[in-house]
A and B are shown apart, each in its own frame.
Chain A
Amino acid sequence: MDFINHQLFIKDINVHIDPILPKKTAIITHGHADHARFGHDHVIATRQTIDIMKIRYGDKCAKKFTPLRYGQKYSIKNYDFTLHPAGHILGSAQVLIEKNNHRLVITGDYKVGKDETCKNFKLVKCDTLITEATFGLPIFQHPDPKDEIQKLIRSIKINKNNCHIVGAYALGKAQRVMNLLRQQKYNETIYIHGSLEKLCQYYSKEKINIGKFEKVSSKDKSFYEGKIIIAPPSALKDRWSRRFPNPIICMASGWMTVKQRAKQQGIELPLVISDHSDWNELLDTIKKSKAKNILITHGQEDALVYYCKKQNLVSKPLSIQGRSDEEIE
């Protein structure tokens, strides 16, 4: 595993994984802005991740694109790369790097639970595992998302004169909330913030069931009574949300586990719906991967490093520049 450094850079062949700055060759795990950036020479990713990058940054956001199917091998010198489903959002992938019989997996962001909006996580056995740790504390034990979405549906039934604005990241979480609503037989039109439109259209095109949606427009205030509106979290506090009648502010996020956090952000109806693994899923993945060497990035790594060491696994935190905890998608 010495071939990769703490910045996820393989110097030997000049390849980066999810680099923050423009690089020559970049393998991109998924389309969120803290992983997929503009301006690389060569992007290697799943077709869907490439599509999403083009939607967000334009067709020319990289000079060259190489789409890979899950499991399709791509080799540079004696390094073999394959992408495997990460279950995080549409197109998300883990990266398996094989070199001289050593298997190294970079999970990227991942979740183990079921999700109809993307291909579900596949466990890849390896010698070295570089895992994320967004929710790497034992307090994070995500509930069944169906129960959480039912809370929203119940609240709509009780509060008929209010509208519900659900804060959800524009890519992935928003569409997952829509899909979960459809799974629970909520068949009304869902109203979306303008910044979600193109991505929602893309999900629909990819045959993800998010149902009927419409961009919020300057209609009469009372029109939105009893409706669900989905918006990026940044819009919740914005003037934008003032146009709606008696809004109940909701948020779909794993952080909503902690009431104090919900309160700080002025969230009235927290929905614990996460696209990351919770504590038990992180431990389970570490165990089942059979890896002896665990590197931990992205978030609350201290507790996970401590746990791994107790299990006699070699473990250390990997601090990747430019990513602060608690702000990532």
Chain B
Amino acid sequence: MKKFSSLLHNLILTPSRNTKIKLLQDYFKTLDINRSYALAILSDQLSFQFIKASKLRELVYEQVDQHLFDYSYDYVGDLAETISLIWPTKKEGKSQNLSTLIKNIKKIKKSEINKEFSKVLSELSNNERWTLIKICTGGLRIGVSERLVKTALADLYNKSVNEIEEIWHGLEFPYENLFQWLKNETSKPKIDFKKLFHPMMLANPINEEKDFKRLDANEFQAEYKWDGIRVQLMVSSNSVSLYSRTGDNISSAFPEIIETTKGDGVIDGELLVGRNFKPSGFNDLQQRLNRKKASKDLQKKFPVFIRAYDILFYKEKDLRKLSLVERRKYLEKFQKENTTNQIDLSTIINFSTWEELTKYKNNFYDDLNEGVMIKLKNSEYLPGRKKGYWYKWKKNPKLVDAILMYAQRGHGKRSSYYSDFTFGVWKENELVPIGKAYSGYTDKELLVLDKFIRNNTTNKFGPVREVKKEIILEVAFDDVFPSTRHKSGVAMRFPRIHRIRWDKPINEVLSIKEFKKEFKID
């Protein structure tokens, strides 16, 4: 564990990609089971069922005063680091290796977690504790992507990283077949690709100025971009399962899809709420998300369907190396053979020049979709966000000017800055908050805002600072909905700071009434 935690410590502090690769390789050279655990951790595939962030908070509150912890967490901005530093130091126990430690933790019974896991934490050094908590909370955020880990492995054993990438999702802990193949002891692991979740092909935002000049419109086709959740539907004669973009099986939450889908293949699409294939907005969809099950009532009230974009497998045939145009033919064939009321096809927008596509901008300016996708006609289905194949062109965001009211320190790399901003509009002579944003500003604007907040705090509520009402933020957002949970009665979708309006006096900011009128909220 000492060795692995110093690996993570060095990885987080090293800016150089080559040094990171070297550090990883030095670790993977060890020929024992620890490297399998390391690989699982670095690719975010290891977790403990009973120990998540909320449990860790509970444990730390047993050890230290809650207020002192909260002050510290606010300052550090990283849960793992705060807990590891604040945990009362006991005498360090005998250092265990990574695999033994993880096995022992997995053995802990749920009823004994508090006592036993606290004991484990107490016996580790600061850095080991930090590592272990990072493992528990998942998402290491140490500046090492899964891709970099694969690159390090590939380079170490003279393989190509794409070869690893191809079989990656068919591999399982402890990756013995992977390591044996890397060392040329066996042939490449055989994977039944059809049964796997396939990482989705994602799009990059288009750069209107550069890309439209560079790219030939004839090589592309477009589709509407729908504001639902991206899903992968796996259908065979005896089972249907639905996966989210991150590969989580979400079948049980959408029984109407599972029960009605027929055929044999793997479909990529967007899950939407609506009747007769007419989507009714993200707010409705939200009623169906983050639920394990959906009652009959809920299904009736918020029926879902899938708008299919693409097809990866048709029966046993792997279509991923075919062009988008070829795949579309298979998708249409699949749809024809297995028509249901739960799946329709995404419409293809044909255009011959970018100007022509720009005209469609008006067409996609209603609230039902969020822009267009621009796809290279002969693109293969490639996992991840590869450059040069698929682009997204979002419609312009909605904008509103609001007054900065409160600020809080950010997390992670922004943790020393006041970077979370709450802003509001007028309600008679008072301000009422309408949203909170923690992105969108430039580094320079952040510095200015941080300084303003430090020098103009009028009140403190724990970690939250109230500031002088002087700064107007132009806030961009995708959408706004009525909400009963907020005092203002509205909830914004993806608000971010667009710019600071130095030119505008605060009395010219809208009232909540005017705001609701402008954005059509009853």
Contact = CB atoms under 8 A, between A and B. Distances in A.
Contact of A300 (B12, B71, B85, B413): B71
Interface in B68-88: 68-69, 71-72, 75-78, 81-82, 85-86
B317 to A, nearest CB: 47
Contacts of A270: 13
Contacts of B71: 137, 300, 302-303, 306
B412 interface: yes
Contacts of B64: 138
A139 B63 CA distance: 13
A198 B235 CA distance: 77
Contact of B130 (A259, A302, A310, A324): A259
Given A141-B89, A324-B454, A264 B68 contact: no
B412 A138 contact: no
A71 interface: no
Interface in A289-307: 300, 302-303, 306-307
Nearest to B85: A139
Interface string A260-271: 111110111110
A101 B15 CA distance: 58
Nearest to A325: B454
B390 to A, nearest CB: 32
Contacts of B89: 141
B204 interface: no
- Sort chain B's interface into a size bin: 20 to 34
B283 interface: no
Nearest to B13: A268
B68 A258 contact: no
Nearest to A139: B85
Contacts of B416: 261, 264, 326
Given A137-B72, A137-B75, A324-B454, A259 B13 contact: yes
Q: Which of A260, A262, A263 counts the most chain B CB atoms within 10 A?
A: A260
B415 interface: yes
B85 A141 contact: yes
A306 B68 contact: yes
A257 interface: yes
Nearest to B413: A264
Nearest to B463: A302
B419 to A, nearest CB: 12
Contacts of A263: 12-13, 143, 413
Interface in A235-271: 257-264, 266-270
18 contacts: A138-B69, A138-B72, A139-B75, A139-B86, A140-B85, A141-B85, A258-B81, A259-B78, A261-B416, A263-B13, A266-B15, A268-B14, A268-B15, A270-B13, A300-B71, A303-B71, A310-B65, A324-B454
